[in-house]
Structure 1
Amino acid sequence: MNNINKSLELFKEAELLMPGGVNSPVRAFKNINGNPIFFEKAKGAYLYDADGNEYIDYIGSWGPMIMGHSHPKIVEAVKNQVELGTSYGAPTGLESDVARLIKKCIPSIEKIRMVNSGTEATMSAIRLARGYTGRNKIIKFDGCYHGHVDSLLIKAGSGVSTFGLPDSPGVPDDLAKHTLSSPYNDIDAFVVAFNSVKDDLAAVIIEPIAGNMGFVPGELKFLQTLRDLTSKNNSLLIFDEVMSGFRVSLGGAQEIFDIAPDLTTLGKVIGGGLPVGAFGGKKEIMDCLSPIGPVYQAGTLSGNPLAMAAGSSLLNLIIEENPYQELENHASMLLVEMRNIMNSAGIPFSTNQIGGMFGFFFSEKLPKNIEEVSETDDNLFSNFLNSCMNNGIYFAPSKYEAGFISFMHKELEIDKTLGIVKDIIKKGI
């Protein structure tokens, strides 16, 4: 049982200084009725908290740490750039280096624009889609999170699909009404939504592998339907690969499904752990952006040299190592045995993974959408997650978040994790 007294003290202080004591809601651990852990350092597959406890990390900063924490080549790249300058507010060759590497791996991206976050990337992609098509409506899917931009922070209502209502105070109804939300992996519902707005439909945006309802991949026929109908309608298809990009394969989810979107949003991995986002796609669409087109987008720190140095180093590493088969093998090793342990104890448990991105659910049937994820057992998940945390295993503290394995998770880490899981289940959750 880990002692987290210093984390508790730090959280108490943080609550006086920041809303909820955190700068992103999931970090508060409210989904599992737990206490947030304050970390001080990380190396390889491990995190170390303020009390000196060691954790095997299955979050990896929500994806970017695909080659492990504090990789020496990335650390060296950032140190070298710090000596040269942290920000110039002007172009650098590093931006072109990262753009070139992304284009090499994702053929659907002919031109790319760097921004500072995934939210910025999706916000800008939506604006670009509207500017390019001259249309207003957007279709998204229940459970797909595209950042906290107003036009995409939409909650679906009852029925097959519905015009969105704001999912947060502060989002005007007049803005939300331009976004239609439809059930994930439901072709019939999408066709109904599509036909209701197709004359004014600028774009369909989707996480092809959803990482914000646990881990739920889009079904191939469903994704192909989106591609077919948007193409015929001269609407744009946007793949939000902020999570899945460079995480499930070098070419992202679009390589796995062999579907080329018109625009792609990226983040996380491409910054090597530093704040970054990007959106890119067909040249004729991207050339509508300022300064050569009418659609305005700008950013003081966009393409900042620290993030570009880290991103270039990490992208070169994963191109060189191509770690995806090993990530897939180790994720499978972990999840198959976890499922065996749970099922042997009579606990309903289902798992899924692609590359080093994974999810598990306390349910017999693998969920295919947010509604089915919501129906999985909250108490079992919460009890299991808190027990893991208390024993040095750091899984995502919400059943609505995906998990991640890094290249530094070897059999030693997998075996240690499974041993702890066995002990937890033996004692009962």
Structure 2
Amino acid sequence: MTGFAINDILEKTMVRYLEENIKIYKKKTQNSASLFEKSKKYHVNGVSHNIRFFEPYPFFTKSAKGKFLEDVDSNKYVDYWMGHWSLILGHSPKPVRQAVKKQLGLGWMYGTVNKMTLELSEIIQKAVPVSEKIRYVTSGTEATMYAVRLARSVTRKKTIAKIDGGWHGYTSDLLKTVNWPFDVSESSGLVDEKHVVSLPLNDLEKSLEILKSVKDDLAGTIIEPVLGGGGCIPAEEDYLKGIQEFVQKNNSLFILDEIVTGFRFRFGCLYSTMKLDPDIVTLGKIVGGGFPVGVICGKNEIMEHANTTKQGKSERAYIGGGTFSANPATMVAGHATLSALEKKGNPVYSKIDGLGKEARKQLEKVFDGKVIVTGKGSLFMTHFIKDEISQIKNAADAAKCDNALLQRYHFEMIARDGIFFLPGKLGAISNAHSNSDIKNMINVSSRFSSTL
């Protein structure tokens, strides 16, 4: 039998296997199917966030607690998506639930300054040295949008450098080179793409070459210490130090987007472990305790540009906040989460980092050369490699892997095993997960590997 014939048989077998998984899923999620048909009457593509859709339709969640999601058909799923990676303590953890319940009795929207904001800011400022001044918003998108505006205001320059595959929300200022191929515009309706340049992660020589080409108009760079949506790829310390050195010598701003990484691996930010000195850091996700949040943290001299009592219209960085910024519910949820993480002797980080390390090790073992598993600490992502890929150092490497196969792998676990990864995305381990959860995931991964 020829190689072509064998490949044809294997492909047909995998198609049949996928069809079986879809059949199983549809049988288990009939109420979700009905709700999705109704949802399409009201919502674009039936969802409220692009990435929440997956074929044939997403299940509808009715409740979440600990490590579990439960859908409207009463199926339970061990969740590794964890609210867009924001729920480090798991779903509805007791300290957060109690704090929010108490606050709801006192009101959840004031529209004025409040004491709860001070209490959260005090914890953040102690843990994140660059946060000499803080401004709250209600999403990571707003935080990065305002960080870029600050950089342009401070430097009086326009060009921002980001990373290929870097995701900083849907702000028009940074919606470029997010999805492969990177030389194609992400969207119609964008009007200022010429003032955004993009760098290949972990390729310092090429990145510096690009930065030098725009140095006279470079307002700043914005980088995730671990590339999240672009493949769960850690930035190398020497790479970040090299970018920082160039940027700061150029009198531009060095911005780190720690919306995913802030308080994920340690109590504080990742940049402190690499002795970096950013001008601005953005936070989100974990610091909101599961409620909407974005945070701009910066050095005094930078953040003072947003002080409208001292700056005129032509000098100020008008970064506002928002109707729901620093709302009491978010502030107490964030405070309760960080207080739980800060407790002396708290084993959360050592526990979840250990589970993440074991997951990466065992996934590579059971897939036996078919995958590269990237990540750090409690974050991990499985990449099904193709012939030309031997390492994954940046988003271009990740994009050349078999993402369709990754989505089939994730969907099979949803359909057959009650394990939920948002198909095609990285996994996040929470304090609610256990060794047995990792072992079960490895066992079902071994079964999937045997079909390849």
Q: What is the TM-score with the length of structure 2 in the denominator?
A: 0.88
Question: Which residue in the other structure is 1:170 paired with?
Answer: 189
Q: Is the 8 A contact 1:124 1:297 kept in 2?
A: yes
Q: How far apart are the structure 2 equivalents of 1:44 and 1:157?
A: 32
Q: Deviations over 1:102-146 (max 9, x none)?
A: 111111221110001000000001111111111111111110011
For 1:410, the aligned partner's letter is S
Aligned CA distance change for structure 1 residues 149 and 379 (closer, same or farther; 3 Å): closer
For 2:328, the aligned partner's letter is P
Partner residue of 1:14 out of 16, 39, 63: 39
Partner residue of 2:128 out of 96, 99, 106: 106
Moved more, 4-13 or 266-275: 4-13
Question: Which residue in the other structure is 2:177 paired with?
Answer: 155
Aligned CA distance change for structure 1 residues 351 and 56 (closer, same or farther; 3 Å): same
Q: How far apart are the structure 2 equivalents of 1:7 and 1:365?
A: 40
**Cα-Cα RMSD:** 1.9
Question: Which residue in the other structure is 1:267 paired with?
Answer: 284
* Counterparts of residues 225-240 of structure 1 (less than 5 Å): 225-240=242-257
- Mapped pair 1:308 → 2:337: no
Q: Is the 8 A contact 1:137 1:201 kept in 2?
A: yes
Q: Is the 8 A contact 1:110 1:283 kept in 2?
A: yes
How many residue pairs get aligned? The number is: 415
SS of equivalent residue, structure 1 residue 195 = helix
- Mapped pair 1:318 → 2:337: no
Q: Is the 8 A contact 1:156 1:182 kept in 2?
A: no
Q: How far apart are the structure 1 equivalents of 2:382 and 2:275?
A: 25
- Mapped pair 1:287 → 2:304: yes
Q: How far apart are the structure 2 equivalents of 1:68 and 1:84?
A: 25
Question: Which residue in the other structure is 2:147 paired with?
Answer: 125
Q: How far apart are the structure 1 equivalents of 2:179 and 2:30?
A: 43
For 2:327, the aligned partner's letter is N
Q: Is the 8 A contact 1:59 1:404 kept in 2?
A: yes
Partner residue of 2:377 out of 339, 347, 355: 355
Q: How far apart are the structure 1 equivalents of 2:348 and 2:399?
A: 32
Moved more, 20-29 or 244-253: 244-253
Q: How far apart are the structure 2 equivalents of 1:211 and 1:11?
A: 28
- State the identity %: 34
* Counterparts of residues 57-206 of structure 1 (less than 5 Å): 57-155=79-177, 166-172=185-191, 175-206=192-223
Q: Is the 8 A contact 1:156 1:181 kept in 2?
A: no
Aligned CA distance change for structure 1 residues 56 and 152 (closer, same or farther; 3 Å): same
Which one has a bigger Cα radius of gyration?
2
SS of equivalent residue, structure 2 residue 214 = helix
Unaligned runs of 5+ in 2: 1-23
For 2:420, the aligned partner's letter is Y
- Mapped pair 1:387 → 2:409: no
Q: How far apart are the structure 2 equivalents of 1:266 and 1:407?
A: 20
SS of equivalent residue, structure 1 residue 47 = strand
- Mapped pair 1:410 → 2:434: yes
For 1:260, the aligned partner's letter is D
* Counterparts of residues 201-220 of structure 1 (less than 5 Å): 201-220=218-237
Q: Is the 8 A contact 1:359 1:402 kept in 2?
A: yes
Partner residue of 1:44 out of 47, 63, 66: 66
Q: How far apart are the structure 2 equivalents of 1:127 and 1:245?
A: 21
Q: How far apart are the structure 2 equivalents of 1:366 and 1:45?
A: 32
Question: Which residue in the other structure is 1:421 paired with?
Answer: 445
